[in-house]
Amino acid sequence: MHFGTTASGVDVEKITIGAGDLTVSVLTWGAVLHDVRLKGVPYNLTRGSDDLADYAGDWCYHGGIIGPIANRIGNARIKVGGMMHELERNQDGRIHLHSGKDATHAQVWRIAAQSATSVTLALTLPDGMCGLPGHREITATYRVSAPATLTLEIAGTTDADTVMNFAQHGYWNMDGTADWTGHRLQIAAEHYLPIDTDAVPTGEIADVAGSLMDLRDGPAIDSKTHVFDHNFCLNGGAGPVRDVVWLTGTSGVQMVMATDQAGMQVFDGHTVPANHDALALEAQGWPDAPNHRGFPSIKVRANDTYAQTTSWSFTA
């Protein structure tokens, strides 16, 4: 289905897939997760726009796949294979955020395969794009399975040593309300990464105990009390897909998020146009990893494959 046309004249499509009680729409622009509908729930569970121009503007990170490096690189440079690569400084003229203006969330992906229950999108990143080495081929497969689970598999190949840390940047609200206050948020993480005034990790790996970051028991959260733009260090690190996040609305609608990634970035939405209307939950490697020896590496060797699996299961 035609969704819109970019300023440069490229058509953008919307693909709808479904199974059981779940129906999902995905855009070829940015591989955006545009719409998530659970049977019996009269509103979209993720935040999206019906205007393509929004995704090129203030909604640029809503629902897209961010890469090749999600989150921040504090000094906007990365050493790969002994060579320093300068990156776009698109946050305050100093910080590299979400891979800059040419990142995967700002590209029109190709439809590589499609069925009633799944769609695979593909994107080529030429050598040097986003400031990084390697001719890279990226695919993202969204798949819906009964009764109500959405699974995303991201894969990437490269012909040169590079770095990859993708994230699906969906915003979620289980109540369809103007503020996420009242939701219960549980995260299987005993540690998190404190940040500086630029929202870049300081390098400390802090215990959540005794802090507002202790979400292990699923407390009710409040947008006036809880400030989130932090990476939670998921128990077990990178490994098998396992349940790591439980988000439950006052309505009783619940989303359980599972991933094989080492981190979960939680952002409260305080800088987006609809202030605090939804929570961004982003499975990924730890942010600013190349600048911290104690953080899990995001390097991908030539001819190796990057892979990420994340899923969202819904009940009402």
- What was the pLDDT predicted at 273? 66
Q: What are phi and psi of 203, to 5 degrees?
A: 110, -20
Beta carbons within 8 Å of 182's beta carbon, 6+ residues apart: 175, 220, 221, 222, 249, 250
Q: What's the whole-number mean pLDDT along residues 66-77?
A: 96
Query: Can you tell me the mean pLDDT for 285-308?
Result: 96
Most distant CA atoms of the chain, gap in Å: 55
Is pLDDT at 269 greater than 90 in this prediction?
Answer: no
Percentage of the chain lying above the pLDDT 90 cut: 96
What rounded mean pLDDT belongs to the chain? 96
The number of CA neighbours under 13 Å toward the Cβ of 97 is 12
> Which tens digit of pLDDT belongs to each residue from 18-70?
999 999 999 999 999 999 999 999 999 999 999 999 999 989 999 999 999 99
pLDDT of 116 strictly over 70: yes
Q: Is the pLDDT of residue 274 over 80?
A: no
Average pLDDT over residues 113-130: 98
CATH number, domain 2-315, options 3.40.710.10, 2.60.40.2700, 3.40.1180.10, 2.70.98.10? 2.70.98.10
- How confident is the model at residue 30, as a pLDDT? 98
Residues β-bridged to residue 310: 152, 259
Share of the chain above pLDDT 70, in %: 100
Checking if the pLDDT of 152 tops 80, the result is yes
Whole-number pLDDT of residue 289: 96
| Cα angle for residues 73, 96, 158 (degrees, 5° grid) | 75
- The mean per-residue pLDDT over the stretch 141-152 comes to 98
Q: Is the pLDDT of residue 302 over 70?
A: yes
Among candidates 249, 244, 234, 235, which has minimal Cα distance to 286? 234
State the pLDDT at residue 91.
Answer: 94
Answer yes or no: are the C-beta atoms of 218 and 261 closer than 8 Å. Answer: no
Q: Assess whether pLDDT exceeds 70 at residue 151.
A: yes
Phi, psi of 291 (to 5 degrees): -100, 5
153-211 per-position pLDDT tens digit? 999 999 999 999 999 999 999 999 999 999 999 999 999 999 999 999 999 999 999 99
How far, in Å, CA of 18 to CA of 155, rounded? 22
Output phi, psi for 104, to 5 deg. -65, -25
Residue ranges covered by each domain of the chain? 2-315
Question: Residue 272 above 80 pLDDT?
Answer: no
Segment 291-304 shows an average pLDDT of 95
DSSP β-ladder status, 65-66 and 72-73 = unpaired
pTM of the model: 0.96
In whole angstroms, give the CA distance from residue 133 to residue 164: 11
Neighbouring-strand partners of residue 187:
245
